[in-house]
Chains A and B, each alone.
Chain A
Amino acid sequence: MDADMAARGGGHARRASSLRLVWVYPDLLSTYGDRGNLLVLERRARLRGIEVESVLVNADHPVPRQGDIYLMGGGEDLPQTLAARRLRADGGLAAAAQHGAVVFAVCAGYQLLGAEFGGEDGQLLQGLEILDIHSGRGERRGVGEIVADVDPRLGVPRLTGFENHQGVTKLGPGAAPLARVVAGVGNGDGTEGAFAGRVLGTYLHGPALVRNPALADLLLTLAVGQLPPMSDRDEEWTRRLREQRLAAVPAGVG
């Protein structure tokens, strides 16, 4: 991990003794098992002795500003548009990000973090401007297993996941690609996802953290600082699943 980022871990105003996870709009943005990311963070934190408090915020409620890690999932076009409108009006997520909270968003949620994204009929709609990315609608739908090598500064091994989107995302100078595509589509230009500081987004959809425990630990570390390792026994099933999925996708496909 970037030494600078690690040093800031746990630095922002975390009041409660427990880790506060905020799942933003599970009613609008939860299409492909997005709950998985919350469950993985909860489990990996608790196994390290960290108390966890999870808050699910539906779109008719204000987004709390005091969370430590914010999660945003995937959604169809209409819910995505509605979520953008509500989140802009609410302002809570942008404020939390500005104050140093960790944000992890997948698929439609990832696009929402940017300046603009493609709406139902392909028209460009305004995003949250939390991450310097611009998304639009691509020519074809990217559907299938995705494998990508993470920016070495983050110290996270190869990503494995599933993508299903028609989005194309271009990064501005304020964001860096999260990874380089080994197999699959990702942002559409050979890169995958984006990050800047403590805000990360990816096209690996749904439960992206399930097969990428090191990415989950990166989010936890950004929020609370260094973590003790987990026992081999607690890691076994995840490790086996990860190995099986990586072995199932030949590099260079897609």
Chain B
Amino acid sequence: MGKLPLRARLATTIGGAAGRMSRLAGRGDGSVIGGVIGLRMEPNLLALLAAGRQIVLVTGTNGKTTTTRLIAAGLTAFGLPVASNAFGANMEAGLTAALGRAPDAPLAVLEVDEKYLPAVIKATRPRVVTLLNLSRDQMDRAAEIWLVARKWRQALAAAPDSLVVANADDPLIAWSAAAAPHVVWVAAGQRWREDSWCCPQCGSHLLRDELGWRCAECGFARPPARWVLEGGSVIDSSGRIHGMSLSLPGRANRSNALVALAVSEIFGVDPEQALPRMRQVASVAGRYTRFERHGRQVRLLLAKNPAGWLEAFDVLDPPPVPVLLSVNAREPDGRDTSWLWDVDYRVLRGRPVFVTGERRLDLAVRLEADGVPFQLVEGVDDAVELVQDASLDVIANYTAFQQIRATFGRAE
């Protein structure tokens, strides 16, 4: 921090103190307030704090927080401090606070809100920009995703020094990344395809087969990937095969780890070094956290949008393990619950289903339409009392998830 201008140093110090105070006062994890105060004193603070560091940005609709965490884990191989916004505070203030908290870290891995990516690329001049996926999410406040992809294209074209690591299986991501001169393509898969029926380049129908996707009209096609997931193994950029056993469950997390391995390699960290470090990550900002309640094991899963719900269904314990669904529609969730109708809940048939959250009636009507029997409950404790089994999976959207975490502790 020695080379920072005086005002930036002061802004960082005071912001950091505010963050600590916020944590002590139990008002939050203090990951935003420090940045807000610092930026008010020095509007250029993010760029000043980023200068001279090697920065990785991570964005996409789903998997940002987890992938950020996995990349940061991989980069610990250097034995140097890594700055990161590990709690998902992913707008300018959160990024500023994360860098301010770790003034001596030469490396930073930052998750970035999709909408803010262009501004953050400009401010931080990242070494690597990581693009995961794009699908419908909170459309009452976020921009339509084609618009987001177009803005990414412009931002990446204007930052030719940044290396892009991008998911070749997602057509919108491929279209965005194709604007960059240097791309490492990763076959991270695409579970949710309802937003990519059409060619992002010309709008025509995309053809899909086992090899990927291509446009019959303009010829835009899935780029060949250098990193591939093959069942439980990774094929790396030089064709070597590594067993990918993670502590995090599910196909989506294997994809996140694949991307994280590709990013780690850019920094010279080999998969053999990175994988054991990634394996140590067992929960991410409360996701997959387990806690005990009245003798029952409760596991927390976060699902914020249709693609995220599919991923959560993938990692549910098999029936008859009961599941509790909790949905809110506050500002951070999106006020509109229409997306519930994009999720196919029929996979929940055959297990007890409990429903809670501020929009539980929306969920009730949705489940009824899918022929999934359910029971309305007040919250986690009610469901725990009603289940006969030893465990309960909970899937909640953003603020519903945070409410449960606040009640049952912020244990990692």
Which residues of chain A have a CB within 8 Å of any CB of chain B?
27-28, 30-36, 39-40, 43, 58-60, 76-79, 81-82, 143-145, 162, 164, 205-207, 210, 237-238, 240-241, 244
Contact = CB atoms under 8 A, between A and B. Distances in A.
B368 A164 contact: no
Contacts of A32: 136, 139, 336, 338-339, 342
Nearest to B145: A76
A39 B140 CA distance: 23
Given A28-B197, A237-B361, A237-B364, A33 B203 contact: no
Interface string B136-163: 1001110011110000000000000000
Contacts of B204: 82
A60 B194 CA distance: 15
A82 B140 contact: no
A32 B140 CA distance: 10
A30 B141 CA distance: 18
Given A43-B369, A237-B361, A241-B364, A76 B146 contact: yes
Interface of B: 136, 139-141, 144-147, 194, 197-198, 203-205, 335-342, 361-362, 364-366, 368-370
A58 B342 CA distance: 17
A164 B336 contact: yes
Contact of B198 (A82, A144, A207): A82
Contact of B140 (A28, A143, A210): A143
A164 B341 contact: no
Given A40-B369, A78-B203, A206-B341, A28 B361 contact: no
A143 B335 CA distance: 9
Given A27-B205, A31-B139, A241-B361, A207 B197 contact: no
A28 B338 contact: no
7 contacts: A27-B205, A35-B341, A58-B205, A59-B205, A77-B146, A82-B198, A237-B365
A79 B361 contact: no
B336 A39 contact: no
A144 B335 CA distance: 7
A203 to B, nearest CB: 13
A34 B341 contact: yes
Contacts of A78: 146, 198, 203
B140 A207 contact: no
Contacts of A238: 365
Nearest to B342: A33
B340, B341, B342, B366 pick with most chain A CB within 10 angstroms: B341
Contacts of B144: 76-77
Contacts of A207: 338, 341
Given A28-B197, A78-B146, A33 B361 contact: no
Contact of A58 (B197, B365, B369): B197
A238 B369 CA distance: 10
B361 A206 contact: no
Nearest to A143: B140
Given A27-B198, A28-B198, A241-B365, A81 B203 contact: yes
Contact of A35 (B203, B342, B364): B342
Given A82-B203, A237-B361, A39 B369 contact: yes
B341 A36 contact: yes
Given A76-B144, A78-B146, A164-B140, 12 more contacts: A30-B194, A32-B136, A33-B340, A36-B366, A39-B341, A164-B336, A205-B338, A206-B336, A207-B341, A237-B364, A240-B364, A241-B362
A36 B146 contact: no
Nearest to A205: B338
Contacts of B369: 36, 39-40, 43
- Between A27, A237, A244, the greatest number of chain B beta carbons within 10 A of the residue's beta carbon is seen for A237
Contacts of A39: 341, 369-370
Determine which residue in B144, B197, B342, B369 has the highest number of CB atoms from chain A within 10 A of its CB, and name it: B369
Contacts of A240: 361, 364
Contacts of B361: 237, 240-241, 244
